[in-house]
Chain A
Amino acid sequence: MTELAATGLTLAGRLAGADFRLSPGELVVIVGPNGSGKSSLMRLLAGQGHPDSGSVRLDGNEIARFDPRERARRIAYLPQRAEVAWPIAVADMVALGRFAFGGAEVTRGAGDAGQWLDEVGCAPLARRSTATLSGGELALVALARAFAAETPLLLLDEPTAALDPRRQIDVMTRLLARSRAGQGIAVILHDLNLAAQFADRILWMRDTRIVAESTSDAAAVEANAAAIFEVSVRIESGSDGRVQTLAVQQDRPSRPE
């Protein structure tokens, strides 16, 4: 069982004393205003760069000590911006997710790319050149690449930012299914509606700190959203107590007529 645990992560001006834990089978959502340190946190959790203080431990061992491939076999991390420098085929790009498992796996992965593309609803794109993709399609293909690594843990930085509403829900549904199948997933979102509907836990960040951790039940989401984003939210919850829809409103109740 792979576990990721961070204590007291600090990065000058960007992150202060963040504690974090991710276990298999859970879907953790990180939310917070722009510049609140979400991406910096996730980068450190993925073993990219070194904190000024604090530590990230993967299965009890300092993450910096891991061989890069060894680490990449346990954690897949999807950066915020999907980029591709050459017009390679979509299937080849997805197969690059198998890199940490050796060259033969990458070659095999190009043939198996369909299964991961299917997960993000992009199976028909397999033969296309990545140069012809739209921003949203490229983001989905990059997500398929992270899926292709089939790691116990998955760290995703705003995978839904470029997607239409249907695709956002599809992606979150996939992530939920993957977490129920045993994968531990942490995902940064800006959409409180998605966060509240899918998260097992929500981490709330503000001004470089993790200021709250909550479940996704209506009262907790409402209170934290008001405190952190300075917005008020209106929530409809289902009979099971989970949030069904969440609407964000301006904090001041009345607008000048």
Chain B
Amino acid sequence: MKFDKLYYIFSIFVIIYLGIIVVPILRTLLFTSINGLVQDSKSGIIQSIELTYLMAFIVAIISVVFAIPYTYFISRSPHPFFKFVDSIIELPIMIPHTVVGIIMLLTFEPSMPVGSLISKIYPNYRFDDTFFAVIVTLFFLASAYSIRTIQVSYTKNAIEYENMARSFGYKPLEAFMLVSVPFMWRSILRGMALTWARSISEVGSMLIVAYYIFPSFTHLVGIFIYSQFIGNGLIPAAESSSILIITGLLTLLILKILEGKDASYY
């Protein structure tokens, strides 16, 4: 196959881009020895990663559960008001994450508006340093990734196919599940993966709402590595970072394989 000049020019951009992404990751992995990783694995990093992955997974599932009906609703709402509503989705990405932590405290602390309502239903309700605080804050920050990824795949074609299925006798939910969900399957998984990955990387807001998580006092991984760096210096923090990178890479690889192929229509 013969490539044109543009192909070679653009390949330079690809190489530089990959270099910016891959070199720091490789540098971190090569900085640490196998022995160091084994030693560091006893520091609590594994429990921290397990907890963080679990929290991020829960947030990813909840995001998709909301993203699918959201996409359905917005796609069928032509009024300009809903365009405005849709633009709000990306706002949390723009807000500095420490500010997000403060926003969450201002909303969900038991003495605050939403928090006081919850307190009336659950008298022992508390917000900071709880699983609820982690999940609701990460959802606030990362759900947009699921929504935008799923929205891209829910095209006008999918809606026309759904209408066609309904004209063949299927109810709206049946048509949606039978026609559109297989069409969006890959995007749903990709949206989940993005939300999951974004949730894992969160530190700023977690420092404010959940420095520890009760009752185990386990840190989320971002805070754990930050504490290691502040308390013990670069090397233990680099070793924990390597463990996080390796497990993260493996998980993303598995998700990529699971993604498979979308159902495709003419």
Whether chains A and B associate is no
Interface residues of B (CB under 8 A from A): none
